[in-house]
Amino acid sequence: MDSPLDSFGQPCLSRRGFLAAASAAGLHGLFTPLAAGAAEEEITFAFISDVHACRMNSGLSPNCQQEGKTDQALLRHIKALNRLPEEIWPSSIKGVATGLPSAGKRIGELRGIVVGGDMTDDGGGQTVEPREGTQLLQFSHRYQQGAGPDRVHVPVYAGLGNHDLDQDGKPPNVDWYRRELRDYVEVNHEPGDIFKPPVPAANFDPETDCYSWNWGPLHLVQLHRFGGDTRKGAVSSIPWLKDDLRTAGAGRPVVLFQHYGWDPFSLENWDPAKTTFDDKGEGAAHWWSDAERQTLLEALSGSKVIGIFHGHEHPTPMIYRVGGLDLFKPIASFLGGFALVRLSGAGLEITLGQAIDDSGGVAFTTAFSKRI
């Protein structure tokens, strides 16, 4: 694996150093001029992760109030997302010119919002008997396209993370919570012979619930927890991913979305000396293993992957490189985070930002651009 900071010309060995450098990446040499003609059509969308809808039948899940995982926080986030089309691409951040080709221009309408997992805090909102969970209801009432100030106004592409997939139900319904979340993905995105979902995928894999679609020349792929996940009985998506990139993604610029990344938190291993998982441990992987990451990177080989978007770590905006690939991670949605993305003839432009008030105000924290 490349050092995540190779493109900045500075090594990073500690989690603290990595996070500090990754969060500042957009202000340290990533504003490169872009070549015209990369794409004739402008495609603008938002990426979010770690919504952590927390509502239960009575109040919130334990610790959610203290962590800020409240409905008020989600409403603040939604107001900011809905106001983005009226905002302006930043010309500078903290006094440093962004160099973005779209700097000073109105953002304009979004094609959609892509979610990078952890839509819910506890497997959709645990219930004693199988029925629709309150957390999944809360998510759908906020992050499903609709009208008004309390829900987003554009199509949403759902993605699942460890908080959505790791909860076990009471026997014999051990897989109930996972099945509920996967059903939500299928109902929203899996086309049928007769039924048309609200946000149809062009290529949906019923074995893994991974899916892909195109916006103009751009190919987009949703991989949920991570490409190749086999936890809790999941079927690996690697064969489907290879086929999708070989066919639907052939010759196109590709962006991928998943929950885990290559940041220090996602790379934690068991540290026997400290009896905990951390970024210095050499024991078993906490989230995903070196072998799983290598398998995914090998599956991407030969494709024109221009970016991977992920979540999982909550408080730090990150832009970094791994294996020659650019990775992007906004802060958690319940903290107000988002990534704004544009592909055009000028290339790829990304700015990370967050909601800053209850009126839809936003602050941009990091920016990035490159030729494609």
Copy the structure tokens of residue 119.
């839509």
Look at residue 85 and tell me whether its pLDDT is greater than 80.
Answer: yes
Q: Tell me what pLDDT residue 25 has.
A: 54
- 325-345, pLDDT tens digit by residue? 999 999 999 999 999 999 999
What pLDDT score was predicted for residue 170? Answer: 86
Question: How buried is residue 171: exposed, middle or buried, by Cβ count under 10 Å (0-12/13-18/19+)?
Answer: exposed
Rounded Cα gap, residues 118 and 133, in angstroms = 14
282 by DSSP, 3-state: which?
Answer: coil
Residue from 219, 203, 38, 316 nearest 211 by CA: 203
Residue 59: pLDDT band with limits 50, 70, 90: confident
| Mean pLDDT of all residues belonging to the chain | 90
> Which H/E stretch holds residue 291?
helix 290-300
φ, ψ of residue 122 in degrees (nearest 5): -135, 70
Q: Is it the case that residue 14 has pLDDT exceeding 80?
A: no
Q: How confident is the model at residue 18 (pLDDT cuts 50, 70, 90)?
A: low
Q: Model confidence over 164-214: pLDDT tens digits?
A: 999 998 888 899 999 999 999 999 999 998 899 999 999 999 999 999 999
Residue 15: per-residue pLDDT:
59
Confidence of residue 24 (pLDDT cuts 50, 70, 90): low
Reading the block at residue 327, the tokens are 């990775």
Instruction: Report how far residue 71's alpha carbon sits from residue 54's, in angstroms, rounded to the nearest whole number.
Output: 8
Tell me how far apart the alpha carbons of residues 138 and 359 are, in angstroms, rounded to a whole number. Answer: 21
Residue 364 CA to residue 135 CA, distance in Å, equals: 29
> Would you place residue 302 in the very low, low, confident or very high pLDDT band (cuts 50, 70, 90)?
very high
Angle among Cα 73, 224, 304 to the nearest 5 degrees reads: 115
Question: Closest by alpha carbon to 109, among 46, 50, 53?
Answer: 46
**Cα separation of 54 and 164, whole Å?**
12
Q: At what angle do helices 71-83 and 134-142 cross, to 10 degrees?
A: 20
The 3-state DSSP class for residue 239 equals helix
What dotted CATH number matches 6-263+316-370? 3.60.21
pLDDT at 6 (0 to 100): 32
Region 281-289: mean pLDDT is 95
**pLDDT higher for 6 or 318?**
318
| Domain residue extents for the chain | 6-263+316-370
pLDDT exceeds 70 at position 161: yes
